[in-house]
Amino acid sequence: MRIVKSMYVVAIAVATLTSCSSVKNMAVPTMDTAVSMAAKQGTVSDEQFKHWAHADLVTDTIPGMSLDKAYQFLEGKTGETVIVAVIDSGIDIEHEDLKDELWTNPKEIAGNNIDDDKNGYVDDVYGWNFLGGNGVAAPEQLEITRIVAKLNSRFEGKTAENISEEEKADFEKYQEYLEAYKAASKNHFNTMERLAQIEGVMNSVKEFIGKETLTIEDLKAIKTDDVAIQGQANGLIGMFSNGFDEKAFNDYYENQKENKNYDLNFDGRAIVGDNPEDITDVNYGNGFVIGSKDVESHGTHVAGIILASRKNGLGMRGVAHNAKLMSVRAVPDGDERDKDVALAIRYAVDNGAKVVNMSFGKSYSPHRHWVVDAIKYAEKHDVLLVHAAGNSSEDIDVSDNWPNDSFDKINEVADNVLTIGAMSVNYNEKLPASFTNYGQKNVDVFAPGVQIYSTVPKNEYAKFSGTSMASPEVAGIATLVRSYYPQLSASQVKHIIMNSGTKLDLEVLVPGKKDEKVNFSTLSISGKVANAYNALVLADKMVNGK
């Protein structure tokens, strides 16, 4: 799930008015407020801070990934080109910092409406779009909404007395799902109710003053003995004084009306035209991998972190050179479908990707076996999958966060998946990002994920935060290792990154738990922060024995 940068300030204002909590499991634009002590003291410039994730703890006093040091180590060495697939919402492949780093299908002729390479995908020149449509994909429900909607046809309105013995177990699960849906959707529906109330207030005041639009000057000019109208005007003045106007409100309200995450009656698959319950129904989607340049910023940001050009002097530098970007659209404005994720992984594998970034996740996965089979397929073909741990401030050894490389959170079914937690620039108790998921069994390593500067549509750049940003940092390191040491398997690269990370002996705040502290090493399997320099040195020792 993602939020549009242009709507961010409006969302904050409305959240304040409606007591709406922030949405879980998404990357969001962040304000430049939480900077490191070094930055506050002026020892780090604004330009340097844009690339804090590349810094070195010893030389720069910033707990980054030692990327600049890694490139010094690589001087004089020659690496191979590595195809990196980004499974996401869509990517602006025309961006100035990405357009020269694109994978193109060498066997496909663009625009001829023929499946030239006979891989089942027509005109898949830059990748594939599993979401349908030629612009913004249709909105989608959350998985819990889809589950409840499906079960409603069997159980809605029934009580335990109406249920046969054969259906009793399913009915009990339905009750659990229904409660989870109600809890998840409560804030959304409360927000929509409050927005409708605000709209009613605006209409009432406009009718009173005889105008079709409102300005703060109009509101301040209202002086009336009508207590209700005066109170409404004063309330709106408070809103408008915070940079909130009628147009911003209307835009935000319309945006929220389009949110189908909790709409039980919505069919988000109509635009696609496939059967999402049938993994063998594969003839759907198209080659339109960009999405809308106005809103599909998430995938563009993720791609830039991994491989934005390091040689064109523009904007930023990605973690990896020698990389080519394959764009695979499978993440809608809602929860991704298990079928799309499984087929997206297989598409990336079949078309030569050696590293796949997956900055998405959800709490329910009814067809998780499809995804696990795809993960095993990637392992069989020596492809490394890098996955964001999620932004719910939860211990995912206990809470669910799919996709996962196991069925039970304990026993891995494959050894080619890295799950990444997010850390901040603060080398103190606030080192873990406040939003990050963690887990001693299910998070492998941490990486920078707060205020990460990268590409967004229309040749622009922005700072986003999320495990969605930490994951591509590590995908970039993996790409470097696979480029310079192609002899190493996906499993070996995974364990090199985990074993070579920076060990930080710090007492830190547990994400999501007020004032509770633990040693940072207990928040992941490795207990470390990914380090590009160390990873390359260890890889070199393994390959060359030095």
What is the distance between the alpha carbons of residues 223 and 103, in angstroms, rounded to a whole number? 64
Helix (H, G, I), strand (E, B) or coil at 529: strand
Which residues contact residue 421 at a Cβ distance below 8 angstroms, ignoring those fewer than 6 apart?
A: 389, 432, 433, 436, 437, 438, 443, 445, 446, 447, 449, 467, 470, 523, 524
Q: Are strands 323-329 and 82-88 parallel, antiparallel or unpaired?
A: parallel
Query: Is 407 in the same domain as 498?
Result: yes
Is 88 among the residues known to form the active site? yes
- Does residue 12 belong to any structural domain of this protein? no
What is the distance between the alpha carbons of residues 60 and 38, in angstroms, rounded to a whole number? 9
- Does residue 27 belong to any structural domain of this protein? no
Query: Is 151 in the same domain as 107?
Result: no
Query: Is 186 in the same domain as 68?
Result: no
Query: Which is the catalytic residue, given 95, 298, 321, 387?
Result: 298
- In 3D space, the residue among 117, 83, 89 whose CA is nearest the CA of residue 102 turns out to be 83
How many other CB atoms are there within 10 angstroms of residue 83's CB atom?
19
Query: Is 338 in the same domain as 482?
Result: yes
In the chain, the number of structural domains is 2
Query: Which is the catalytic residue, given 36, 468, 483, 524?
Result: 468
Query: Is 509 in the same domain as 391?
Result: yes
Query: Is 40 in the same domain as 186?
Result: no
Tell me which DSSP letter residue 406 carries: B
Q: What is the pLDDT of residue 280?
A: 96
Choose the final residue of a domain: 257, 291, 309.
Answer: 257
Query: Which is the catalytic residue, given 56, 60, 88, 405?
Result: 88
Q: What is the pLDDT of residue 316?
A: 94
Query: Is 128 in the same domain as 164?
Result: no
Is 60 among the residues known to form the active site? no
- Does residue 309 belong to any structural domain of this protein? yes
443, 421 Cβ separation under 8 angstroms:
yes
Secondary element (H or E) of residue 384: strand 384-388
Query: Is 300 in the same domain as 219?
Result: no
Question: Residue 87, Cα to own-chain centre: how many angstroms?
Answer: 10
Query: Is 357 in the same domain as 431?
Result: yes
Task: Report the CATH number that the domain containing residue 82 is assigned in CATH.
Answer: 3.40.50.200
Query: Is 491 in the same domain as 529?
Result: yes
Determine if the peptide bond prior to 332 is cis (ω within 30°): no
- Does residue 429 belong to any structural domain of this protein? yes
- Does residue 451 belong to any structural domain of this protein? yes
Q: What is the pLDDT of residue 534?
A: 97
The pLDDT tens digits along the chain (546 residues) read 443 333 333 444 444 343 333 334 445 444 343 344 444 444 567 777 889 999 999 888 889 999 999 999 999 999 999 999 999 999 999 999 999 999 999 999 988 999 999 998 999 999 999 998 766 667 899 999 999 999 999 999 888 888 899 999 999 999 999 999 999 999 999 999 999 999 999 999 999 999 999 988 999 999 999 999 999 999 899 888 877 788 889 988 998 888 999 999 999 898 898 999 999 999 899 998 986 655 679 999 999 999 999 999 999 999 999 999 999 999 998 999 999 999 999 999 999 999 999 999 999 999 999 999 999 999 999 999 999 999 999 999 999 999 988 777 788 899 999 999 999 999 999 999 999 999 999 999 999 999 999 999 999 999 999 999 999 999 999 999 999 999 999 999 999 999 999 999 999 999 999 889 999 999 999 999 999 999 999 999 999 986
Which residues contact residue 283 at a Cβ distance below 8 angstroms, ignoring those fewer than 6 apart?
A: 120, 274
Is 468 among the residues known to form the active site? yes
Question: Which domain does 69 fall in, by range?
Answer: 32-139+274-544
How many other CB atoms are there within 10 angstroms of residue 207's CB atom?
11
- Does residue 408 belong to any structural domain of this protein? yes
Choose the final residue of a domain: 191, 222, 257.
Answer: 257
- Does residue 18 belong to any structural domain of this protein? no
- Does residue 496 belong to any structural domain of this protein? yes
- Tell me the H-state helices in 485-531: 490-499
Choose the final residue of a domain: 203, 231, 257.
Answer: 257
Owner of token pair 């970034």 = 357
Query: Is 504 in the same domain as 532?
Result: yes
- Predicted TM-score (pTM) above 0.85: yes
Query: Is 462 in the same domain as 348?
Result: yes
- In 3D space, the residue among 301, 302, 363 whose CA is nearest the CA of residue 338 turns out to be 363
